[in-house]
Amino acid sequence: MYKQNKISSINTKEYFKILIHELIKTYHSQAIIKNDITCNIKLENIIYCGLILNEFVLNSIKHAFSNVENPHAQIDIILKKEHKLCIFIVKDNGIGFIENKNNNNTLGLTLVNTLVKNRLKGDISIKSKKGTNIKSSWLEDE
């Protein structure tokens, strides 16, 4: 993204596809990534979304499938806009998010919470049932 001459020319969907591809390649993940990206985000928020996506997908690649042989490892990425509400979901079919004192204060989770709540003025929720589902949402002017 930083290589673009003109930030307004960034294709959000293509940017996220490249980011996801590089994460998978870097971590030699066998996970299948499905994405449904239909949202045009305000340019100043694309960087935050990229950082959030990086943390969400990296968490799935590193933790959801680390102790389990899963030939059907899957990570779904959904980014959509409903009226003025941006909804960003990353879910996997891995081992689930184990809540304890050690992983509630991780750097990645702290970063994501800070970006969503303070920068995007949004909300974030984590559900762990048959994998992990992390959803963030925020209002954005059109």
Domains of the chain: 15-139 (3.30.565.10)
Count of CB atoms situated within 10 Å of the CB of 29: 19
76-91: per-residue pLDDT in tens?
Answer: 888 888 888 999 998 8
Residues of the chain with pLDDT under 70: 1-11, 28-30, 39, 66-71, 98-105, 142
Q: How much is the pLDDT for 68? A: 63
Give the C-alpha distances (Å, rounded to integers) separating 134 from 7, 10, 78, 125, 129. 28, 25, 10, 6, 11
* Gap between the terminal Cα atoms of the chain: 22
Q: Position of tokens 């990425």?
A: 77
pLDDT, residue 7, reads 47
Residue 121: per-residue pLDDT: 93
Single-letter amino acid code for the residue at 55: E
Report pLDDT for 72: 75
